[in-house]
């Protein structure tokens, strides 16, 4: 987030910065999700990425609404965390090998993104609550809920189809497990 280069005189300043970070993260994700959908071999996983792209576009729109309600222009604050998470996903996209294993890796990369977003939206929502901005807090909570559902959906896909490796396909001593701890 580059917090050292900013001056925060109050919680409102920090909230605006957090929203800018989320705005950048969501915009970056709208560029990454189509690539992840294309790389996925499981039809169910492809559809999950495509569905989440549509949700993410809504998240961008909601953040624009929040900025507007706060009397601010939407401004992207570079989100180094999302840049790194997307870079990890791109490594999985460009990898080769067994399709199910690659899909499992794509799910893992996507879940790391979801967990980051849940933490960031939870923080921004709490700041809005502290500032008495209940309507903004509700908007942020709606997105937080959707991020949580996306994470659960990825876990269901992993457990029901992608992470169903045969014993012959696993290294000696390994057990099959879900992507989500």
Domains of the chain (ranges, CATH numbers): 10-160 (1.20.1260.10)
Name the token pair of 46: 């492809």
Largest CA distance in the chain: 59
CB atoms within 10 A of CB 60: 17
What is the 3-state composition of the chain as percent helix, strand, coil, each rounded to the nearest 5? 75, 0, 25
pLDDT value, residue 181: 42
The rounded mean pLDDT for the chain is: 89
> Tokens 């990454």 identify what position?
32
Contact 61, 17 (CB under 8 A): no
Mean pLDDT confidence for 55-70: 98
pLDDT band at 6 (very low <50, low <70, confident <90, very high): confident
* Residue 28 Cα to chain centre, angstroms: 10
Q: Which residue has the higher pLDDT, 7 or 45?
A: 45
pLDDT band at 178 (very low <50, low <70, confident <90, very high): very low
């Amino acid at each position: 987030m580059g917090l050292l280069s900013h001056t925060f005189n109050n919680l409102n300043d920090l909230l605006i910065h957090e929203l800018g970070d989320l705005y950048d993260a969501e915009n970056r994700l709208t560029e990454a999700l189509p690539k992840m959908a294309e790389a996925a071999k499981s039809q169910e996983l492809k559809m999950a990425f495509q569905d989440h792209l549509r949700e993410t576009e809504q998240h961008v729109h909601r953040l624009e609404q929040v900025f507007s309600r706060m009397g601010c222009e939407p401004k992207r604050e570079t989100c180094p965390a999302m840049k790194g998470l997307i870079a990890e996903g791109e490594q999985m996209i460009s990898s080769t090998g067994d399709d199910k294993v690659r899909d499992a890796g794509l799910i893992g990369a996507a879940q790391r993104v979801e967990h980051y977003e849940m933490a960031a939206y939870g923080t921004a929502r709490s700041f809005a609550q502290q500032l008495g901005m209940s309507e903004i807090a509700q908007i942020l909570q709606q997105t937080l809920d959707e991020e949580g559902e996306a994470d659960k959906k990825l876990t269901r896909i992993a457990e029901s189809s992608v992470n169903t490796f045969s014993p012959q396909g696993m290294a000696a001593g390994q057990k099959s497990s879900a992507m989500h701890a």
